[in-house]
Amino acid sequence: MLHCDKTITVIKCDGESYTKTVIVGVSWFDKHQIKLEGSGIAPVNLVQIRIPAAVCPDVLPATDDVIALGEITAEITKPADLKPYRHVKVMSVGDNRRGGTPHVAVTCQ
């Protein structure tokens, strides 16, 4: 898989505490699109992340998790702690580990 040179931190919240999982060797692509809204169009920034099967963690990202670009070493206790980091919310996860290029595809916004 090409351009798998990024590090991400997956942040999961169980309602009370936050857990972080750092994954090294993924691809991160920004995708600028538009969507129809009421009487016009609005810009939407999507992020597509590909996690090669070789570096997949035991627990995969899930819908509503947060993914930050880079490794976060600071403690996360509330959503405001993520403000200094480039982060996105997981919208969908696709498990493509049985294909020719095994990976997990994550779409975020």
pLDDT band at 54; cut points 50, 70, 90: very high
96's tokens: 């493509």
Query: Which residue type is seen at 71?
Result: E
- In whole angstroms, what is the distance from residue 100 CA to residue 12 CA? 29
Domain ranges of the chain: 6-108
- pLDDT attached to residue 42: 86
Q: What is the mean pLDDT of residues 46-58?
A: 95
For residue 39, the 8-state DSSP code is T
Name the pTM for this structure.
0.90
- In whole angstroms, what is the distance from residue 24 CA to residue 71 CA? 9
Question: pLDDT digit string (tens) for 59-80?
Answer: 999 999 999 999 999 999 999 9
- pLDDT attached to residue 34: 87
Query: Could you give the C-alpha distances from 63 to 12, 17, 106, 107, in angstroms and in order?
Result: 10, 17, 9, 9
Question: pLDDT digit string (tens) for 1-33?
Answer: 678 999 999 999 998 899 999 999 999 999 988
16's tokens: 């009370």
